[in-house]
Amino acid sequence: MLKIYHNPRCRKSRAGLDYLKSRTDEFEIVDYLRDGLSKVQIKEILLKMNAAATDIVRTQEEVYKKELKGLNLTEDEWIRIIIENPKLLQRPIIVSEHKAVLAQPPENVDILL
Protein backbone atom coordinates (compact mmCIF):
# COMPACT_ATOMS: atom_id res chain seq x y z
CA MET A 1 0.00 0.00 0.00
CA LEU A 2 1.26 3.44 -0.94
CA LYS A 3 1.18 6.51 1.31
CA ILE A 4 0.98 10.06 0.02
CA TYR A 5 2.13 12.92 2.22
CA HIS A 6 -0.34 15.49 0.96
CA ASN A 7 -1.19 19.15 1.50
CA PRO A 8 -4.70 19.73 0.10
CA ARG A 9 -4.02 23.47 -0.26
CA CYS A 10 -1.01 22.95 -2.54
CA ARG A 11 -1.54 22.83 -6.31
CA LYS A 12 1.43 20.51 -6.89
CA SER A 13 0.28 18.19 -4.12
CA ARG A 14 -3.25 18.05 -5.56
CA ALA A 15 -1.79 17.27 -9.00
CA GLY A 16 0.26 14.44 -7.51
CA LEU A 17 -2.79 13.05 -5.70
CA ASP A 18 -4.91 13.25 -8.86
CA TYR A 19 -2.23 11.42 -10.84
CA LEU A 20 -1.93 8.77 -8.13
CA LYS A 21 -5.72 8.29 -8.16
CA SER A 22 -5.59 7.79 -11.93
CA ARG A 23 -3.05 4.99 -11.50
CA THR A 24 -4.27 3.10 -8.40
CA ASP A 25 -6.82 3.18 -5.62
CA GLU A 26 -4.56 1.45 -3.11
CA PHE A 27 -3.09 4.30 -1.11
CA GLU A 28 -3.45 6.16 2.15
CA ILE A 29 -3.46 9.95 2.40
CA VAL A 30 -1.36 11.46 5.18
CA ASP A 31 -2.46 15.03 5.91
CA TYR A 32 0.78 15.92 7.64
CA LEU A 33 -0.18 19.57 8.24
CA ARG A 34 -3.23 18.48 10.22
CA ASP A 35 -1.77 15.38 11.89
CA GLY A 36 1.89 16.39 12.17
CA LEU A 37 5.00 14.42 11.34
CA SER A 38 7.06 12.13 13.51
CA LYS A 39 10.79 11.54 13.49
CA VAL A 40 10.09 7.94 12.43
CA GLN A 41 8.02 9.10 9.43
CA ILE A 42 10.67 11.55 8.26
CA LYS A 43 13.49 9.03 8.69
CA GLU A 44 11.46 6.46 6.71
CA ILE A 45 10.97 8.96 3.89
CA LEU A 46 14.67 9.87 3.84
CA LEU A 47 15.80 6.25 3.91
CA LYS A 48 13.45 5.24 1.10
CA MET A 49 14.40 8.29 -0.98
CA ASN A 50 18.09 7.81 -0.21
CA ALA A 51 18.10 11.52 0.62
CA ALA A 52 19.26 13.97 3.24
CA ALA A 53 16.80 16.04 5.25
CA THR A 54 17.81 19.18 3.35
CA ASP A 55 16.67 17.45 0.13
CA ILE A 56 13.05 17.48 1.32
CA VAL A 57 12.98 21.05 2.65
CA ARG A 58 10.97 23.69 0.77
CA THR A 59 13.46 26.53 0.45
CA GLN A 60 10.85 28.98 -0.88
CA GLU A 61 8.96 29.08 2.44
CA GLU A 62 9.26 32.29 4.47
CA VAL A 63 10.43 30.48 7.61
CA TYR A 64 13.30 28.99 5.60
CA LYS A 65 14.26 32.28 3.98
CA LYS A 66 14.11 34.27 7.21
CA GLU A 67 15.45 31.82 9.79
CA LEU A 68 17.15 28.80 8.19
CA LYS A 69 18.87 29.78 4.94
CA GLY A 70 22.63 29.41 5.18
CA LEU A 71 22.62 27.55 8.50
CA ASN A 72 24.90 24.55 8.84
CA LEU A 73 22.72 22.11 10.81
CA THR A 74 22.98 18.41 11.52
CA GLU A 75 20.59 15.87 10.02
CA ASP A 76 18.78 15.50 13.35
CA GLU A 77 18.43 19.27 13.67
CA TRP A 78 16.86 19.48 10.19
CA ILE A 79 14.49 16.63 11.05
CA ARG A 80 13.43 18.45 14.24
CA ILE A 81 12.87 21.64 12.22
CA ILE A 82 10.67 19.79 9.72
CA ILE A 83 8.66 18.27 12.59
CA GLU A 84 8.20 21.72 14.13
CA ASN A 85 7.45 23.36 10.75
CA PRO A 86 5.70 20.69 8.64
CA LYS A 87 4.94 23.17 5.85
CA LEU A 88 8.68 22.96 5.07
CA LEU A 89 8.22 19.40 3.78
CA GLN A 90 8.39 19.06 -0.01
CA ARG A 91 5.14 17.71 -1.38
CA PRO A 92 3.68 15.43 -2.37
CA ILE A 93 5.90 12.58 -1.28
CA ILE A 94 4.71 9.09 -2.16
CA VAL A 95 6.05 6.17 -0.13
CA SER A 96 5.90 2.48 -1.02
CA GLU A 97 7.17 -0.49 0.91
CA HIS A 98 10.78 -0.02 -0.29
CA LYS A 99 11.01 3.35 -2.01
CA ALA A 100 9.76 6.94 -1.86
CA VAL A 101 9.60 9.71 -4.45
CA LEU A 102 8.79 13.38 -4.63
CA ALA A 103 5.89 13.47 -7.10
CA GLN A 104 7.09 16.58 -8.89
CA PRO A 105 6.33 15.98 -11.69
CA PRO A 106 3.38 13.73 -10.83
CA GLU A 107 4.65 11.07 -13.25
CA ASN A 108 7.38 10.25 -10.73
CA VAL A 109 4.70 8.08 -9.10
CA ASP A 110 5.23 5.59 -11.94
CA ILE A 111 8.59 4.68 -10.39
CA LEU A 112 6.67 3.08 -7.51
CA LEU A 113 4.04 1.26 -9.57
Residue 10 among the catalytic residues: yes
> Which is the catalytic residue, given 6, 10, 52, 68?
10
Cα–Cα distance for residue pair 27/34, rounded to 1 Å: 18
Q: Catalytic residue numbers?
A: 10
